[in-house]
Amino acid sequence: MSTVTVAKKDFRAARRSKLLWAAAIVLGLIAAFVGYVSGGAPGSDTEQVRALFRVLTLLLAVLLPIVALVASYLAIAGEREGGGIKFLLSLPNTRRSVFVGKLLSRNGIVGGGVAFMYVAAISVALTRHGAFPAAVVFGTLLITLVYGSTFVSIALAMSSAAASRSRAIAGAFGTYFLLVILYVFPVVSFGDIARWVHTTLLGADANPDLYNAVQYTSPYLAYRKAVNLVMPAEMRQVVFRSSLPEDVSYGSAKANEVLPMYLQDQFSVVVLAFWLVVPLLIGYVLFERADLE
Domain-embedded: residue 202: no
User: pLDDT-derived band of residue 278, with 50, 70 and 90 as boundaries?
Assistant: very high
Domain-embedded: residue 69: yes
Query: What is the mean predicted confidence (pLDDT) over 154-183?
Result: 87
292 vs 31, residue with greater confidence: 31
Question: What's the confidence (pLDDT) of residue 40?
Answer: 55
The tally of domains found in the chain comes to: 1
Q: What is the mean pLDDT of the chain?
A: 82
Among candidates 266, 254, 170, which has minimal Cα distance to 227? 266
Instruction: State in Å, rounded, how far the first CA of the chain is from the last one.
Output: 21
Query: What is the mean predicted confidence (pLDDT) over 250-256?
Result: 65
Domain-embedded: residue 205: no
Question: What's the confidence (pLDDT) of residue 286?
Answer: 85
Question: What's the confidence (pLDDT) of residue 41?
Answer: 55
Domain-embedded: residue 200: no
Query: What is the mean predicted confidence (pLDDT) over 71-84?
Result: 78
94 vs 248, residue with greater confidence: 94
256 vs 209, residue with greater confidence: 209
Question: What's the confidence (pLDDT) of residue 42?
Answer: 59
Q: How far apart are CA 176 and CA 182, in angstroms?
A: 9
Which string of DSSP letters, residue by residue, matches 141-170? Answer: HHHHHHHHHHHHHHHHHHHHH-SSHHHHHH
A 10 A CB-CB count for 40 gives 7
Domain-embedded: residue 283: yes
Residue 197 has pLDDT above 60, yes or no: yes
Question: What's the confidence (pLDDT) of residue 208?
Answer: 81
Residue 107 has pLDDT above 70, yes or no: yes
Question: What's the confidence (pLDDT) of residue 98?
Answer: 84
Q: How far apart are CA 123 and CA 129, in angstroms?
A: 10
Q: How far apart are CA 122 and CA 124, in angstroms?
A: 5
Query: What is the mean predicted confidence (pLDDT) over 118-139?
Result: 86
> 9-21 pLDDT, tens per residue?
877 776 666 767 7
Residue 1 has pLDDT above 60, yes or no: no
Domain-embedded: residue 210: no
Domain-embedded: residue 54: yes
> 233-248 pLDDT, tens per residue?
778 777 777 666 666 6
A 10 A CB-CB count for 43 gives 10
Question: What's the confidence (pLDDT) of residue 143?
Answer: 96
* φ and ψ at residue 250, rounded to 5 degrees: -70, -15
The packing angle between helices 45-72 and 165-176, to 10°, is 150
Query: What is the mean predicted confidence (pLDDT) over 167-194?
Result: 84
> 14-62 pLDDT, tens per residue?
666 676 777 778 877 887 777 777 655 556 778 888 888 888 999 999 9
Q: How far apart are CA 223 and CA 241, in angstroms?
A: 17
130 vs 231, residue with greater confidence: 231
Give the least confident one: 99-108, 139-148, 162-171: 162-171
Residue 277 has pLDDT above 90, yes or no: yes
- Residue 124, domain extent: 3-185+216-289
Domain-embedded: residue 249: yes
